[in-house]
Each structure stands twice: as C-alpha cells, then as structure tokens.
Structure 1
Amino acid sequence: MRLSTKSRFAVTAMIDVALREDRGPVSLAAISVRHQISLSYLEQLFSKLRQQGLVESTRGPGGGYSLSRNAEKITMADIVGAVDAPSEEEAAAEGGWMSSELWASLNEKMLTHLQSISLRQLVAEQRTKGVTVEPAPAPSVKRGVFAKPKSTLKITAPNSVFALAGSLMPSRG
C-alpha cells in the first residue's frame, strides 16, 4: 500500500461527500470547485471508488455521488486501496528487493493503522475543526433544464466560420 497525491485527493473527496450525505448526491463539479481538483481527475478517482463499492452514482439533474454504505464502515484503507492498488508489475518488482521483509512489515503496519480510521472519524474531525457545510438550496427554487433563465443574453459575435471571415474582410463597395 502506498500513499500518494491520488489517495490524498480521494480521501478529501470522500470526506466532502460524507459531510454532505444528508443532502443527497454530491456533484463532482462541486467537489472540483471546493477543493481545486481537476474534474477529469475526480472522474477517474470516482470510477475506481464506484468499482470498489464505496460510492454510488445518480444520473440526471441533481445527480452526483453518494456513499454506498455507512461512513462508519468505510475505512481509509478502503479508499486508498481503491485508488492506489499496485499493478501486477509493481507488486512483482517489490518482491525482488533484498529488504522486502522490511517493506512488507511496514506495509502491514500502515494497512492496520489505515483500517482503524473510519470515514466517520475523519468527518467528525473536520467538524471539530470548524468545517461547515453550506445550507441546502430551498426546495422552492426551480433548478434544472426547465428553469426559466434570469436574463437573456444578446450575442453579437459571428455564429460561424463563414460569418467570422465575412466580418473580417474589408467591404467592397
């Protein structure tokens, strides 16, 4: 088991989802904005987390990700293992080191420690640090595809390559 930036981002994103678990699915775009993590990177991470059964996805307007089981039953080891599982080549290469017993022992101790930390504990730790979650939007607010736009925007730019070329060419008269 290894701890990398990928696992750090995965843990951060899972804490974010767990903090908002009572509000329904959390969009990756919102997590991306809150934690300055690339949306495409989050998509890769959540694909792995979903494959390992840690999160569920909901499609459509108001969709996103939610925990697939109680945060008490998800450990740091589950999250890190889901996104940072070593490839077969890496696992085979680790066995060739003369000090492999040392690394195996260290890995076992690290795994035991990570298994002892639940996602619920990490969420509680964030709340004691004063992390607050923005209030849920009022149910009367129209959201989604059928909401009427607040204002209309008049676009004066050319709408095609041909119109652009025509606007750049000097007029002949």
Structure 2
Amino acid sequence: MAVADLAAQGEGACESLSAIGARQAISVTFLEQIFAKLRKAGYVESVRGAQGGYSLARSAHLISLDGVIRAVDAAPKAHGCTPESKIACTGRTDRCLTHDLWGALETHIEGFLSSISVQDVVDGRLPILEAAE
C-alpha cells in the first residue's frame, strides 16, 4: 500500500513517511522498518532535509509487486510446509496430503504478483478486474 501510495503521488515525488502513514492508516514506526528494507533492495531512495522523505528509485511500471513483497520479507505462504520439504511437512514425519496443492497455489500467487507492476495498481489495471468486466 505504501509503495503504491508513493507512486500515486507522481513520478519523482518525495513523500514523508508520516504523510504516507496518514493517507494509508499505517504507523510511521512500521513504515520505517518497511522502507529501510525497500531502500536496501533498491526500490526507494531516501532524501534528507526539511522537504525530505522517500521517492521511488525507479519508475513504478518497472517495479513488480512480487519484488516489493520479497524485499520486505513477506512472501505469500499458503501452508506451513517448507518448499525444501520433499519428505516431511511441519509437525509430521511424512508429507501432508495437500503439500503439492498448497505449493502450486504459492507458485500461482507468485506468478500473479510478478505480472503486476506498482503502476498497474495505481492505474487500476489488475487482471482480476479485467476478467470480471
């Protein structure tokens, strides 16, 4: 939400975390943690000074949702099994019956998110919306 908000302010916009937080109802403390990770991953740049804040480090149409989510360590997880778990699942000595189902769902979600840019979100160009029309 915060990255889309920043993109919605326009190309080259520099916004404070307090302004983003106020618009999106997100705590500044939480945004500080998230934006530190986004900056480290190269998605945003920090600008110091009275008019400082954060700006996108690249064009919003070049930033995928999957990349943003991975940068903040929030990859979608459909089950408690680890992808490396070919033999046993969490809390079990063998694989659960739905292991492959949840793994396929995670792969589908990752593909969906990687196909959508931050600019797509800002512009409302989402595949699910296009299919519903």
Same topology, TM > 0.5: yes
CA drift of 1:23 comes to: 5.8
Structure-2 residue corresponding to 1:110: 109
Decide which structure has the larger Cα Rg and report it: 1
Map residues 4-153 of structure 1 onto 2, 5 A cutoff.
12-22=1-11, 24-83=13-72, 84-85=74-75, 92=82, 95=85, 96-97=88-89, 98=95, 99-125=98-124
Aligned amino acid, residue 67 of structure 2? D
Q: How far apart in 2 are the matches of 1:108 and 1:91?
A: 14
What SS does structure 2 have at the residue aligned with 1:78?
helix
Which stretches in structure 1 are left out of the alignment for 5+ residues?
1-11, 127-173
Please tell me whether the aligned partners of residues 27 and 65 of structure 1 are also in contact (alpha carbons under 8 angstroms): yes
Distance 1:43 1:91, change over 3 A: farther
What is the aligned-residue identity percentage? 39
CA drift of 1:78 comes to: 1.0
Pairwise CA RMSD of aligned residues?
A: 2.3
Aligned length: 112
Aligned amino acid, residue 101 of structure 2? L
Please tell me whether the aligned partners of residues 19 and 123 of structure 1 are also in contact (alpha carbons under 8 angstroms): yes
